Amino acid sequence: MELDIFKPKALPVFGLDISSSSVKMIEIVDAGKGVYRVERYAIEPLPREAVVDGNINNLEAVAESVKRAHKRLATRTKHVAMAVPSGAVITKKIIVQAGLREDELEIQVETEANQYIPFALDEVNLDFQLVGPAPSNPEEEEVLIAATRKEKVEDRVAVAESAGLRALVMDVESYAQQSALALVVQQLPNGGKDQNIAVVDIGANVMNVTVLRNDQSVYTREQAFGGNQLTQDIVSRYGMSVEEAENAKRSGGLPDDYETEVLRPFMDNLSMEVQRALQFFFTSTQYNAVDQILLAGGSAVIPGLDEAVNTRTQVPTMVANPFAAMQTSSRIQLKRLMVDAPSLIIACGLAMRRFDPV
């Protein structure tokens, strides 16, 4: 099976994102006149340890969650666009002679890939895309190669199939995130042109910071800090189980001192982590400023977090919402979508694959 990261698809697909804490599905349709509409979405929690560091440890449990989410999604569409974790993908730009035929290009890509990929080629899924003329020589072209271990793809395909779905597209999480964030960047002054935009994705265990400039990633860094830290703080302070703490975190009902004693210190720590990440960015690149911070991931919607990060970093900060310029179908609660938006970013980017030009 090919890793169809770059292949356009004409069939309707919806986005299916499997993170370490939940399964997210979203279907986006064309509402005409260049406007998109969020048709339906569903988020289904995953059992603890079912997915760890992007590895599917418990295929049956994940498939069950996917099945439940699909039932709630209530769509007739069975085709999905999925993604492998960015850390599981090796990407490399190579230079080839311009005007090669597809078969010649494939041979060249495989030859080059052999040098860069530390696995036997029969153990990997390989894909490539022409980027355009090489900057140094118009008679050469740049080609982007992407490769991942077959089992990473096969596990995700197996989950989809166990749930009665079919994976048509296998993307990379960072690419899916970037295409959804392009919709957010358009909302910025001057469409974000020539600006350094730091995307802070706060997952359950890991905070991923990517700096985008003109739709290109110029820096990325992972820090071991995430929303589970807040859950653990609640567990240790109030003697709750992890499940109780997770529920209370989402739906409220925590003691009066929660905000001052637990939530505020967590937000301060998170803001400090963001500031540290920006310092690393400044010291390891030629840049010394960030124009905008976009908060993504499940913890991004903690009320007041954007203000806390802004105060600490002195950089304009907003919660990333790729749906701001979209219509929504009548079955969607707008208030709920606003809360869920930051955790639906990868799923949104995957759902947008149905609009790829054929």
Confidence band (pLDDT; 50, 70, 90) for 10? low
pLDDT value for 357: 74
**Residue 58 and residue 3 share a domain:** yes
**Residue 158 and residue 28 share a domain:** yes
- Residue of higher predicted confidence among 82 and 251: 82
pLDDT tens digits along 21-38:
899 999 999 998 889 999
What whole-number percentage of the chain has pLDDT above 90?
A: 66
pLDDT value for 150: 92
pLDDT value for 7: 58
CA 121/CA 151 separation, integer angstroms: 13
Please say if the pLDDT value at position 1 is more than 50. no
pLDDT value for 115: 85
**Residue 228 and residue 194 share a domain:** yes
Half-sphere exposure of 56 (CA within 13 A, CB side): 25
Q: Flag the least confident range among 3-17, 31-45, 179-193, 223-237.
A: 3-17
CATH number of the structural domain spanning residue 116: 3.30.1490.300
Decide if 88 contacts 99 (C-beta within 8 A).
Answer: no
CATH number of the structural domain spanning residue 54: 3.30.420.40
The pTM for the full model equals: 0.88
Decide if 129 contacts 91 (C-beta within 8 A).
Answer: no
Decide if 168 contacts 4 (C-beta within 8 A).
Answer: yes
- What the block records as the tokens of 122 is 């029969």
pLDDT value for 53: 83
The pLDDT of 222-231, averaged and rounded, is 92
**Residue 278 and residue 315 share a domain:** yes
The parent domain of residue 285 ranges over: 189-320
Count up the domains in the chain and report the number: 3
- What the block records as the tokens of 179 is 């295409």
By CB neighbour count within 10 A (0-12 exposed, 13-18 middle, 19+ buried), where does 295 fall? buried
**Residue 137 and residue 8 share a domain:** no
Decide if 301 contacts 342 (C-beta within 8 A).
Answer: yes
Please say if the pLDDT value at position 247 is more than 90. no
**Residue 82 and residue 18 share a domain:** yes
**Residue 305 and residue 210 share a domain:** yes
* Ordered DSSP codes for 301-332: GSTTHHHHHHHHH-S-EEE--TTTTSEE-TTS
**Residue 307 and residue 240 share a domain:** yes
Mean residue pLDDT of the chain comes to 91
**Residue 81 and residue 206 share a domain:** no
> What is the longest distance spanned by two Cα atoms in the chain?
68
**Residue 234 and residue 200 share a domain:** yes
Confidence band (pLDDT; 50, 70, 90) for 185? very high
Confidence band (pLDDT; 50, 70, 90) for 4? low
**Residue 168 and residue 139 share a domain:** no
**Residue 193 and residue 182 share a domain:** no
